[in-house]
Amino acid sequence: MNQKPLAGVRVIEFGTLIAGPFCTRIMAEFGAEVIKIETPGTGDPLRKWRKLHGDTSLWWYVQARNKQSVTLNLKSEAGLEVARKLIASADIVVENFRPGVMEKLGLGYEKLKEDNAGLVMVRLSGFGQTGPYRDQPGFGAIGESMGGLRYITGYPDRPPVKTGISIGDSIAALWAALGALMALRHREVNGGAGQVVDVALYEAVFAMMESMVPEFDMFGFIRERTGNVMPGITPSNTHTSRDGKHIIVGGNGDAIFKRLMKAIGRQDLADDPTLADNAGRDARAAEIYGTIDDWVRCHDADEVISTLKAADVPTSPIFSIADMMADPQFQAREMFESLALPGGASVNAPGVVPRLTGTPGGTEWPGPALGEHTQAVLNALGYSDEDVARLNADGVI
């Protein structure tokens, strides 16, 4: 098998829960050596979140796959000494503490780069490393709210709602991984210097907000909640079939709209010149959506899907996880892989994305036991077995 693209890159993770650990999960899936620093005795709280297998979260086994777990008491000088040695050997450090915590530990970037000038330090926080809000706590939910996502999510006659996952944290993690790789690329081609990648959760979400800024600046337009309708782009909506299934129909391309109208028996709308472009369709959005609603509710979901697919109109039922697990496209693309868990059980986990044809990512092992790699990592740093035993007795590891 070809070597993974991040083989040879060493990453030290000081993250907990979602944003920092998801960032390093991506790196680990593509071959980076990720050493996760955890608090002795407790570890990352994610180990106990959501559904447990035995006493360990199933989410943990996915989020920490391919990582090494090293326990360190960062409140002890001996623990900080180990941390500094690890960082001196690393390409990337990822942390998602509040701004200032790493500095209080003596692990701020200005200090660390004295021993490792090429170090890339990825810092994820609610509001970034600067500004008047920097010291405030900020989880993904706060980033989603301040970054604009919550305001536009839901129906206009009801309060804003959230998506069913921690999307703000995950978006920030993706930006962080991208920033880290750009900084590595800069280091490779522009003289070897490292730098800080500063990711604020609210900014990560804000960066996804499409055309909101120029539309407000130019026209004073504030995008509001529109339910399942894609605002300003018609038609794209959710419709309910006769048998109670929810179906997405995306007919917003000019040619696609004509095919959609023909497929549902409305050749008159397909031929209407005032509906030939999006502006004309959006002006008559209520009429168009009512027409599609009327047709879909008169047919079962299978008939709706087959009719629209035959007309080459983008459509899909809204999948639950049970639907995904049974779907032939997911299976053909190998989007589920089996993880062998401690004790002999196995569980399906999401496949690795993105899909690289030459150097694909993959899972080598599931999330490790707390401190599973402490002995081996410290031995590689030059600590003898006796040194490790003493650190353990002193509560450092």
185 with 309, same domain: the answer is: no
**Type of residue numbered 67:** K
Total-model pTM = 0.94
CATH number at residue 269: 3.30.1540.10
Do 176 and 301 fall into the same domain? no
Which residues are identified as catalytic? 169
> If you average pLDDT over every residue of the chain, what do you get?
96
pLDDT tops 90 at residue 2: no
Within a domain: 327: no
- Per-residue confidence (pLDDT) for residue 220, from 0 to 100: 98
* Domain shared by 69 and 102, yes or no: yes
Choose among 73, 14, 105, 68: nearest CA to 394: 73
In a domain, residue 66? The reply is: yes
Domain annotation covers residue 59: yes
Coil, strand or helix: which one is 239? strand
Cα 137 from chain centroid?
Answer: 20
- Residue 14 in this model has a pLDDT that exceeds 90: yes
Q: What is the DSSP letter of 74?
A: T
Select from 196, 215, 202 the least CA-distant residue to 109: 196
- Answer whether residue 2 is part of any domain: no
Q: Quick check: 150 and 162 in contact, CB under 8 A?
A: yes
List phi, psi (to 5°) of 119: -65, 135
- Output the pLDDT for position 231: 87
Q: Tens digits of per-residue pLDDT, 17-60?
A: 999 999 999 999 999 999 999 999 999 999 999 999 999 999 99
**Pair (151, 279) in one structural domain:** no
- pLDDT, one tens digit per residue, over 267-286 is 999 999 999 999 999 999 99
Are residues 159 and 24 part of one domain?
yes
Let me know whether 381 and 285 are in one domain.
no
Q: What is residue 355's predicted lDDT score, i.e. its pLDDT?
A: 94
345 and 302 part of one domain: no
Per-residue pLDDT averaged across 111-132, rounded?
97
Boundaries of domain holding 280: 236-317
Locate tokens 């339910």: which residue? 227
Per-residue pLDDT of 188-220, as tens digits, reads: 998 889 999 999 999 999 999 999 999 999 999
Instruction: Examine the domain organization and report whether 106 and 244 are in the same domain.
Output: no
CB atoms within 10 A of CB 276: 15
Distance CA 34, CA 134 (A): 27
383 inside domain:
yes
How high is the pLDDT of residue 290? 97
Task: Give residue-wise pLDDT tens across range 315-330.
Answer: 999 999 999 999 999 9
What band does 171 get if pLDDT is binned at 50, 70 and 90? very high
326 occurs within a structural domain? no
- CATH of residue 353's domain is 3.40.50.10540
Q: At what angle do helices 301-310 and 254-263 cross, to 10 degrees?
A: 130
Q: Are residues 341 and 376 in the same domain?
A: yes
Nearest to 166 by CA among 128, 196, 204: 204
Residue type, 147: G
Last residue of a domain, one of 284, 317, 350: 317
Query: Are 365 and 256 within one domain?
Result: no
Please tell me what DSSP assigns to residue 211. T
Would residue 3 count as lying in a domain? Answer: no
pLDDT band at 303 (very low <50, low <70, confident <90, very high): very high
Contact between 269 and 291 under an 8 Å Cβ cutoff? The reply is yes
pLDDT recorded at residue 1: 57
pLDDT for position 230: 87
Confidence tier at 121 by pLDDT (50, 70, 90): very high
CA–centroid distance for 268 within its chain: 44
Domain count, the chain: 2
Q: Are 34 and 174 found together in one domain?
A: yes
Judged against a pLDDT cut of 90, whether residue 307 lies above it is answered with: yes
CA 275 to chain centre: 38
Look at residue 225 and tell me if it is in a domain: no
- Better pLDDT: 337 or 192: 337
